[in-house]
Amino acid sequence: MANDTDKLIDLRSDTVTRPSAAMRAAMAAAEVGDDVYGDDPTVNRLQARAAELFGHEAALFAPSGTQANLIALLTHCQRGDEYIVGQGAHTYKYEAGGGAVLGSIQPQPIAHQADGSLALTDIEHAIKPDDFHFARTRLLALENTFGGRVLQPGYTQAANGLAHRRGLATHLDGARICNAAVKLGISLREAVTGFDSVSVCLSKGLGAPVGSVLCGGRAFIDQARRWRKMLGGGMRQTGILAAAGLYALEHNVARLAEDHENAARLARGLSDIAEIKVNAPETNMVFAEIPAAQCCLLEEALRRSGILAQVAPHMRIAFHLDVSRADVDRVAAAFKEFFAG
């Protein structure tokens, strides 16, 4: 099973993790059935567990975060409706415009504040009056963490309050909500309080190979299941994958704190390199400004040191359960050697 990239420290994303031996054992031992018939006991357990952890009535296992978010958009909005979303949000910018293409849902993107949030006044101004000239503003979609930054509970509470007062539903793209909860030292349920639906990636820092869960009310999830089927996300003996997700929720949430420590450790390690500027990380991402002329050379030098990274003028370095503290020190040393040379 070993391949060339096994030996590398891979900092490109927190999606690059390989399932551990224990996770693979859980997958191999999973009881399965045909989930399109609702017969897969392991999928049912994952969905029940996710609903419980995130404080919603029900949950649905989806093959990807992109599909979970698209299902949420399609379930909340009808053709000709609109959702308010950040300019840099994954649902708007990085999901190929699925809501518009497949749902005829118009996005209303607005600019982010420096902390990644959407200003409440901007949200308020973006809500269109009930007038036949306009699309019907139906949904507010937020993302936490956003660019590795944590939205504060006071803020999300206020945003949910505003949206609900104005008759909008709310969705949280919580691809990395577990990182936010661990960072804030609050429960997963508290971290998503107030949102009508939330999607959570099992395949990022949590270390599962595949999958997301979408949580919401029972009626919402019943409708969501129809959209998932239409989008081709109805899978059969998928308990094998759900077992990895269950394992991840059981074993890999609290340990995200190690990834946050490793990110902070690298930021400190790089802070005395004059040529680059490193932003203090909040969770598992370090962002560094690299001189454009040196990006290619740095990427090659790192690769020669066994480090895989996408070096760019605004560089993202992601931490996950396949990067150890010793690896962090190797990475810092490789950066220093490059800029000293």
Q: Which residues bind ligand PLP (CB under 6 A)?
A: 64-66, 69, 90, 143, 173, 175, 201, 203, 212
Based on CB atoms, which residue is closest to ligand PLP, 215 or 334? 215
Based on CB atoms, which residue is closest to ligand PLP, 81 or 143? 143
- Which residue is nearest to ligand PLP, using beta carbons? 65
The rounded distance, in Å, linking the Cα atoms of 208 and 276 is 33
Alpha carbon separation from 72 to 16, 46, 127, 170 (Å, rounded): 25, 19, 19, 10
Buried b (16+ CB within 10 A) or exposed e, 227-259: bbeebebbbebbbbbbbbbbbbbebbbeebebb
Based on CB atoms, which residue is closest to ligand PLP, 61 or 339? 61
* Nearest distance in Å: CB 178, ligand PLP: 12
Alpha carbon separation from 123 to 126, 132, 169 (Å, rounded): 5, 20, 13
Beta bridge partners of 174: none
Based on CB atoms, which residue is closest to ligand PLP, 27 or 208? 208
Based on CB atoms, which residue is closest to ligand PLP, 143 or 327? 143
* Nearest distance in Å: CB 284, ligand PLP: 11
For strands 197-201 and 212-216, give the pairing.
Answer: antiparallel
Rg (CA), the chain: 21
* Nearest distance in Å: CB 60, ligand PLP: 14
* Nearest distance in Å: CB 141, ligand PLP: 10
Based on CB atoms, which residue is closest to ligand PLP, 180 or 266? 180
The rounded distance, in Å, linking the Cα atoms of 135 and 80 is 6
* Nearest distance in Å: CB 330, ligand PLP: 26
- Axis crossing angle, helix 325-340 with helix 295-304, rounded to the nearest 10: 130
Cis bond upstream, residue 75 (ω within 30): no
The rounded distance, in Å, linking the Cα atoms of 312 and 295 is 6
* Nearest distance in Å: CB 145, ligand PLP: 8
Based on CB atoms, which residue is closest to ligand PLP, 240 or 301? 240
Based on CB atoms, which residue is closest to ligand PLP, 11 or 127? 11
* Nearest distance in Å: CB 143, ligand PLP: 5
Please give the backbone phi and psi of residue 337, each rounded to the nearest 5 degrees, phi first: -60, -40
CA dihedral 309, 148, 190, 117 (to 10 degrees): -150
Token pair for 53: 């952890």
* Nearest distance in Å: CB 94, ligand PLP: 7
